[in-house]
Chain A
Amino acid sequence: MVCDDNARLLHGYLDGELDLVRSLEIEEHLKICPDCAQELWNQQTLRKAFRSSNLYERAPAGLADRIRGSLALETADASPETGAPASKKAPVITLTSRRATWNWLAVAAAILLMFTVTWRIVPGLSGRGNSDLLTQEIVSSHIRSLQPDHLFDVQSTDQHTVKPWFNGKLDFSPPVRDLAEDGYPLVGGRLDYVDHRAVAALVYQRRQHFINVFIWPEGKGKEEALRMKSVQGYNMIPWEANGMYHCAVSDLNSGELQQFTELLRK
């Protein structure tokens, strides 16, 4: 067996990543330790195999053009006033963009269908109360926001960019705070529609998990009945502060989500 102490360093040596002193130490060790010497030989053989292998996977033909197409669509969406996206490959892009548009339409249709089915069937089947409907609506909004390109209307980690963005889009001004220092960075915001009204959705991130915080002013809605619960694997924590309802939803574990809401309420 290879000596435990040197097993790791042997790889640093193999990769040329050790400093001079360490390298010399390893070289001295290799002279007196046949096991380590053999392991180095093994690993050099392995490396040669990598070098001469066909393991490198190159992008298939057509992928680059498909990406250019969706980027062109993105550019056109982002700045409609500039007209057609400038590109020398206009015909290809037009074709691909159209395909991309159809893809999006298909996705939109699927979502619409899903919502229609949810709205029609769920209340009929179970006769659940309004609060359950609202809960379901919020969780659905959260899930939909995780579909590609649905997460943000405004992408920024800066609360002073996100807050003013809502001006003129809502009839209230949602509180926006970045919690990056606590490990929950603000990553953007979005307009959403919950309980028959436009609401603010703030997006935070914890590792690979997104947290949506839906905010709307107190009204005569069904929000009083919202409870902390877990639905379809998503945790939901509602609270009330400064005349507004807040509801945090995420697939993050409930402990961390709780900590997050406590930080936000400070």
Chain B
Amino acid sequence: MNALAVCRVEGPSSRMPMATPNAGTAGRFEQTVMPHLDAAYNLARWLVRNTHDAEDVVQEACLRAFKFFGGFQGGDARPWLLKIVRNTSYSFLEKNRPAMLSEEFDERVHAQDAPPPDAEATMVRSVESRMLREALEELPVNFREVLVLRELEGLSYKEIAELIGIPIGTVMSSLARGRERLRDALLRARAKEGTRGL
């Protein structure tokens, strides 16, 4: 699904198919959508991996959200806004970092990562925030996004499935694969720091 398709559905209070944004709309938007700005920024920041680009993406996403606000059916505005942020982020990546996007989706590039050094080291004992951040940054974007939506935003499988436009079973597999990669990356990072005598 795409962000633009959300304008299909009319909101209960919209007079026309495409309600012209006016001061009243602005007030409702301020109350229902703006409180989720942190969530919007968090997702954009993790998808585009750069604070400056994330701000641009969020600003554009909010403008889009405002235009399609007539189609918002009420309920929780957060997943609705996040869906627009996600689409805007991907458009941004497609336009500005196309190589990175296609490479990241290619599993084979990353599937050959070295396994953890030995069987004894398969236990994750403690995880520093810094290591977790680095490991998450390095994940391919499709795994990174489900992890951010689940672990940082606390969305349900159903909400994530709806937001990304994939079946619920795929949400579970993506989380499983993403977390396994994260686990391996953390084990490798710890092994590396260990050999450096840290």
Least CB distance from B180 to A in Å reads 8
Instruction: Verify B20–A11 contact, CB threshold 8 A.
Output: no
A188: B residues at CB distance < 8 A: 4
Q: Does B191 contact A (CB under 8 A)?
A: no
Of A57, A60, A148, the most chain B CB neighbours within 10 A belong to A57
Instruction: Verify B152–A12 contact, CB threshold 8 A.
Output: no
Q: Does A117 contact B (CB under 8 A)?
A: no
Instruction: Verify A86–B90 contact, CB threshold 8 A.
Output: no
* Interface-lining segment among A37-45, A131-139, A235-243, A257-265: A37-45
Q: Does B193 contact A (CB under 8 A)?
A: no
Q: Does A3 contact B (CB under 8 A)?
A: no
A45: B residues at CB distance < 8 A: 124-127
**How far is B51's CA from A99's CA once the two chains are assembled, in angstroms?**
20
Contact of B7 among A9, A149, A155 (CB under 8 A): A155
Q: A50-B152, A53-B132, A57-B45 are in contact. Are A75 and B175 (CB under 8 A)?
A: no
Q: A53-B132, A79-B20 are in contact. Are A15 and B183 (CB under 8 A)?
A: no
Instruction: Verify B51–A85 contact, CB threshold 8 A.
Output: no
Q: Does B141 contact A (CB under 8 A)?
A: no
Task: Give the size range of A's interface with the partner.
Answer: 35 or more
Task: Give the size range of B's interface with the partner.
Answer: 35 or more
Instruction: Verify B17–A63 contact, CB threshold 8 A.
Output: no
Instruction: Verify B129–A157 contact, CB threshold 8 A.
Output: no
Name the CB-closest residue of B to A62.
B55
A161: B residues at CB distance < 8 A: 17-18
Q: Does A248 contact B (CB under 8 A)?
A: no
Instruction: Verify A57–B41 contact, CB threshold 8 A.
Output: yes
Instruction: Verify A43–B172 contact, CB threshold 8 A.
Output: no
Q: Does A64 contact B (CB under 8 A)?
A: yes
Q: A71-B66, A75-B23, A158-B17 are in contact. Are A59 and B4 (CB under 8 A)?
A: no
Instruction: Verify A59–B41 contact, CB threshold 8 A.
Output: yes
Contact of B55 among A9, A38, A60 (CB under 8 A): A60
Instruction: Verify B37–A78 contact, CB threshold 8 A.
Output: no
Q: A49-B127, A60-B51 are in contact. Are A71 and B41 (CB under 8 A)?
A: no
Least CB distance from B171 to A in Å reads 9
Q: Does A126 contact B (CB under 8 A)?
A: no
Contact of B179 among A41, A43, A157 (CB under 8 A): A43
Name the CB-closest residue of B to A8.
B176
Q: A67-B59, A146-B95 are in contact. Are A75 and B179 (CB under 8 A)?
A: no
Residues of A in contact with B (beta carbons under 8 Å apart): 7-12, 15, 17, 38, 41-43, 45-47, 49-50, 52-60, 63-64, 66-68, 70-72, 74-75, 78-79, 82, 85-87, 146, 148-149, 154-158, 161, 185, 187-188, 205, 207-208
Known: A43-B183, A185-B5, A208-B91. 20 other contacts (CB 8 A): A9-B172, A11-B179, A46-B127, A53-B133, A55-B133, A58-B42, A63-B55, A64-B37, A66-B59, A75-B21, A75-B26, A78-B21, A79-B21, A79-B22, A82-B22, A85-B26, A148-B63, A155-B67, A205-B2, A205-B5
